[in-house]
Chains A and B, each alone.
Chain A
Amino acid sequence: MFDRDIWQEIFHSIRSNKLRTFLTGFSVAWGIFILVLLLASVNGMQNGFYDQFNDNASNAVYIHSRTTSKAYAGFEKGRRIQFTNDDVDYIKGSFKGDFEFITPVFERSTSARYKEETGSYRVMAINNEHIFIQKVNISQGRYINKSDVVGGAKVAVIGKKVATDLYKKEDPLGKFIEINGLPFMIVGVFTDDKDEGAESMIYAPITTYQRIYSNTSDIDQIMLTYNPDFNLDEAMDFSNKITVLLKRRHKISPDDQAGLRIWNTAEAFNDIGQFTGILQIMSVVIGLLILIAGIVGIGNIMVFIIKERTKEIGIRKALGAKPKQIIMLVLLESVFITALSGLIGLLFATGLLSLVGPLMDAPAFKDPSVDMSTIIIATIVLVVAGMLAGLIPAIKAARVKPIVALSDK
């Protein structure tokens, strides 16, 4: 197979038939080009989708209280459910090992002031574990820490928008911000390049904030992350168990969908995964169909080549070429053309991607690219394709009777 002579034969044949080789190769290069672009596009969509959620931990679970829609246990429907710190403690106590981080959330819109500048912002009061759930990106200073929460410190972490609104060019770190008429010291600034709206938020310790609101223990939301070792089923099982227990605890009918809302990221990720999975399969199928067209094209041209070379093959057989040698000659030629032109298609496609890819940054489309495995698979597909395309013509060639080379009188 790696005989120098057979390659010389192949190059001879290719060189003396440039147009034919080009036309053959083009259809394969085109097929691979499209296949790679398709796969890359799906990849881009997938990246885009995940990116949308990547702001938060991929194993986050959010629990909101709502209003009941069914009468249950002596309560009328339309009852407002209110979570308290006890609910958080209850989850902590009941699901040891099932969760990673957990925080109560208390949220209010308030006005904030620094010197003459004022603005209206949303304050989210949380504990120190919150940063691991929503992945807050600290650009300056630090986040709310455990001693802030335990001691009920009047500290705040402000978004970049708040900083530029109120502090202009001043460095906000260590300065005070007046929230609800009370001074909070700024210990950190955060940014969020996915969501500029988030940058006009203020984070404060939950204990401090609950005290401001007349020592309440009410909370609006519970955020947690489940054990990252969980698979999808375990994760869903976990959030279902929380739902059941919280419903029982707050006397919500088990089949009341409205009483509380629990949102498990795993589910969303799974949906996206399935969606892009289907897209990926579809694109592979479409790409392969295009490739098949290319292969049929090559097969077609190879059959034509064999017809054209019937006499030559007859001569070779008369000179003692074995059928195996003839098959090898034809097969290698088609594998060589397919593989080479496929690689050219691959190069063009990846070249185009690396040129255009970085320019594309639509919300649901990011970084379209193909990974190594795709390239390897494509290469294998190509070689196999070349074999298939060459096989029938090769067998046909091997069957050429040397008699035809003689019967030319």
Chain B
Amino acid sequence: MIEIKDLHKSYKMGSNSLHVLKGLNFNIKEGELVAIMGSSGSGKSTLLNILGMLDELDEGSYTLDGVPIKNLNETKAAQYRNKFLGFIFQSFNLINYKTAVENVALPLYYQGVNRKERQEKALKYLEQVGLKEWAGHLPSELSGGQKQRVAIARALAAEPKVLMADEPTGALDSQTSYEVMDLIQKINDDGNTILVVTHEPDIADMCKRIVHLKDGVIVEDKKVDQVRASQYV
């Protein structure tokens, strides 16, 4: 699903250049649930930005579902993001003046899905995250865990190839974190490819594979025995 070859990325800081990613190689197959771990400054956010087509790589290649991701203009990047990727953010990033169902329907709007179908699909995915009865509520009326579930429903709504979660539990308490991870695991069980960036080992352990980043290089890439979050819920 994702193929990264010899990926380099550096940022110019005045006259100095900061080499953030120093030649990464890895592949993610369909249906995987991968945790990308590392302390801050390890380059994990940069990697996610590049994978999410929010930033461009300097060297190397990135292929997503057989499509080389290179030299994209804004419009093309927007199309690919819409078609291939679903984002889940640490701070949920719901649009605060839109109701839960409107937030979930937004990526569908950008896909050009008609109003009725959008509404139906959005409700279906809200139901999947267990928030159907909260459809008409604004984000401000939801708890942190509920917001993240709405955000997950939104990411799912576009039916992307890969879900990218950037510290999805970073703003949640441990109990809610487990609930969210339980949901992510269930989505993964349905066959979705999911990438989770985290610095919390217990969250990483709930994935099937952990890629450990340190100072811009992969120091460890291992399969793990998945800890099911449902036992804590």
- Residues of chain A touching chain B, judged by Cβ–Cβ distance below 8 Å, are 4-5, 12-13, 16, 311-312, 314-325, 398, 401-403, 405-409
Contacts and interface: CB of A to CB of B under 8 A. Distances in A.
Contacts of B110: 316, 319-322, 325
A316 B90 CA distance: 16
Contact of B87 (A318, A323, A409): A318
A328 to B, nearest CB: 12
A405 B111 CA distance: 20
Contact of B81 (A4, A13, A320, A407): A320
Given A322-B78, A403-B54, A403-B55, 18 more contacts: A12-B97, A16-B97, A316-B106, A318-B93, A319-B82, A319-B158, A320-B78, A320-B81, A322-B110, A323-B78, A401-B54, A402-B54, A402-B81, A406-B48, A406-B87, A406-B89, A408-B89, A408-B93
Given A406-B89, A406-B166, A319 B154 contact: yes
B128 interface: no
Interface string B32-57: 00000000000001001100101100
A13 B89 contact: no
Contact of B54 (A318, A322, A408): A318
B142 interface: no
Nearest to A403: B54
B71 interface: no
A211 B189 CA distance: 123
B109 interface: yes
Nearest to A409: B90
A321 B78 contact: yes
B17 interface: no
A270 B222 CA distance: 93
Interface residues of B, number: 33
A16 B95 CA distance: 12
Interface in B80-111: 81-83, 87, 89-91, 93-95, 97-98, 106-107, 109-111
B81 A315 contact: no
Contact of B115 (A4, A12, A405): A4
Contacts of B55: 403
A317 B89 CA distance: 14
Contacts of A403: 49, 54-55
B75 interface: yes
A262 to B, nearest CB: 73
Contact of B111 (A314, A317, A320): A320
26 contacts: A5-B109, A12-B98, A13-B97, A16-B97, A316-B106, A317-B78, A318-B52, A318-B81, A318-B87, A318-B93, A319-B110, A320-B81, A320-B110, A320-B158, A321-B110, A322-B110, A402-B81, A403-B55, A405-B89, A406-B48, A406-B87, A406-B89, A408-B91, A408-B93, A409-B45, A409-B167
B220 interface: no
Interface string B114-143: 010000000000000000000000000000
B74 interface: yes
Given A4-B115, A323-B75, A406-B166, A312 B54 contact: no
Contacts of A315: 93-95
Interface string B144-158: 000000000010001
Contacts of B166: 406
Contacts of A405: 89, 93
Contacts of A398: 74
Given A12-B98, A315-B93, A322 B83 contact: no
A218 to B, nearest CB: 90
Contacts of B94: 315
Contacts of A408: 89-91, 93
Contacts of A321: 78, 110
A406 B54 contact: yes
Given A12-B98, A13-B97, A403-B54, A320 B90 contact: no
Q: Which of B79, B89, B90 has the most CB of A within 10 A?
A: B89
A4 B167 CA distance: 35
Nearest to A312: B95
B170 interface: yes
Q: Which of B74, B78, B93, B166 has the most CB of A within 10 A?
A: B78
A332 to B, nearest CB: 15
A12 to B, nearest CB: 5
A402 B81 CA distance: 11
A388 B31 CA distance: 49
Contacts of A16: 97
Nearest to A17: B97
Given A319-B158, A398-B74, A409 B170 contact: yes
A69 B107 CA distance: 92
Contacts of A4: 115
A320 B109 CA distance: 9
A305 to B, nearest CB: 13
A320 B79 contact: yes
